[in-house]
Structure 1
């Protein structure tokens, strides 16, 4: 039985997959402009991609921007992510600085969720960051991104299970398809995780245009959140939040 995760008024793991939109501005003002534009669209969550921010290593600038985002989004859940360059992000960062940044953001009380890359952090730091987050009322999205290939079904399921076993609130897996069969492998892994092992919401996706169907079919196969774009995309295969909302509603109505 998948336990629904409620963040503010959003119930993740129930009904139509929730739409998360990334903010990828490089400056404070670009970020705020993107945030205001997002309010005009159908979104459930917002992800601030901190790795795009030019001043992300200056914590007072991070706090200033977080305060502005919190004021704009009010009751819309806010997710902070620093995607490392190894997993498709914009910047490299030493492990100790990665840990310091994530802990700092957790302790600002400005975000509802924080993304932690499992392979970047390693098991010990990963568990430490989960404890830090939970002590501050913040949820952890555990992530793993493979921009080169789609691993085997068994391997993908094992990654999701490990994230769950270590205490992540939402395990997330994104992979790159080299063929249509790879997309089916991702959907199979999602189904197996949900039907046989999962006790909490998960997020999975097959990237690029080839994998687009995986961003739409979460209600059928078990991915609780999908990512769309309002301005710039943050990963291959994202489509507009409006188109995404329309298609998800059509699929839900006829499921």
Structure 2
């Protein structure tokens, strides 16, 4: 069971390793996540079989009962998600689940609902990750900086930038972005970006995402156990936090 809230853990400086879950087996997934020592359970509500608020809250409950930190994501189809409904329903679902989670992730491109989700999160004292994803490429430096600035202006507590990396130039561009700003989550997707899932947290990226077993939810993810082992090797801060159960 986590001994620190998500806000406390983030303020301590050590990165977190997140694993994504749907609603196939919430009780079993929550038990496994607790046993593994998952730092952050990302609940991909857009994967759920039912997105009725009562059903979603029921799927969240085992993770809360297990003492896990919870990031709720209802990813739009425009950025790789499976959300089946309209934007009004998505905003209302975010609002309904906020009291049961620690943070929410909403895309910068979701302009119709972003201000309302941020306002609701502020009212509930929950954190907001404002995210941008590009599954084809890593955009140029000016575009990435503009995206970060827009996300910060929108009220992000953390800005997440996740792009497809095709080689060292893309990795250098993403590393420069990470070093320029604080409160960032920066990920290079794909085989060329796999190293960013371990070494960017060492440079200050606040959250990295790992696979549940051998099933990656995004290109280039490593299994949780391997990610945690490598981070504990290269990040003394992470090793200390993990050893303390923080």
TM-score (normalised: structure 2): 0.87
Whose relative contact order is higher, 1 or 2, with alpha carbons under 8 Å and at least 6 apart? 1
In the alignment, what sits opposite 1:169? 157
Moved over 4 A (4+): none
| Native 8 Å contact 1:141 1:172 kept in 2 | yes
Work out the CA distance in 2 between the residues paired with 1:105 and 1:166: 21
In the alignment, what sits opposite 1:129? 117
- Residue 198 of structure 2 is aligned to residue 225 of structure 1: no
CA shift, 1:224, in A, is 1.0
| Native 8 Å contact 1:42 1:245 kept in 2 | no
In the alignment, what sits opposite 2:192? 210
Distance 1:132 1:33, change over 3 A: same
- 1:62 pairs, out of 56, 71, 84, with 56
CA shift, 1:10, in A, is 4.5
Distance 1:143 1:234, change over 3 A: same
CA shift, 1:179, in A, is 2.7
In the alignment, what sits opposite 1:197? none
Work out the CA distance in 2 between the residues paired with 1:183 and 1:13: 26
* Higher mean displacement: 44-53 or 159-168: 159-168
TM-score (normalised: structure 1): 0.84
CA shift, 1:127, in A, is 2.2
| Partner deviation per Cα, 1:201-232 (whole Å, 9 max, x = no partner) | 21110001210111111244321111112233
In the alignment, what sits opposite 1:7? 5
| Native 8 Å contact 1:208 1:237 kept in 2 | yes
| Native 8 Å contact 2:88 2:113 kept in 1 | no
CA shift, 1:90, in A, is 2.5
Work out the CA distance in 2 between the residues paired with 1:15 and 1:129: 26
| Partner deviation per Cα, 1:165-203 (whole Å, 9 max, x = no partner) | 221111111001233321221111111224xxxxxx211
CA shift, 1:115, in A, is 0.9
| Residue segments in structure 2 that go unaligned for 5+ positions in a row | 238-246
| Native 8 Å contact 1:21 1:47 kept in 2 | yes
Work out the CA distance in 2 between the residues paired with 1:114 and 1:159: 18
CA shift, 1:7, in A, is 3.1
CA shift, 1:253, in A, is 4.2
- Residue 87 of structure 2 is aligned to residue 98 of structure 1: no
Q: What is the number of equivalent residue pairs in this alignment?
A: 233
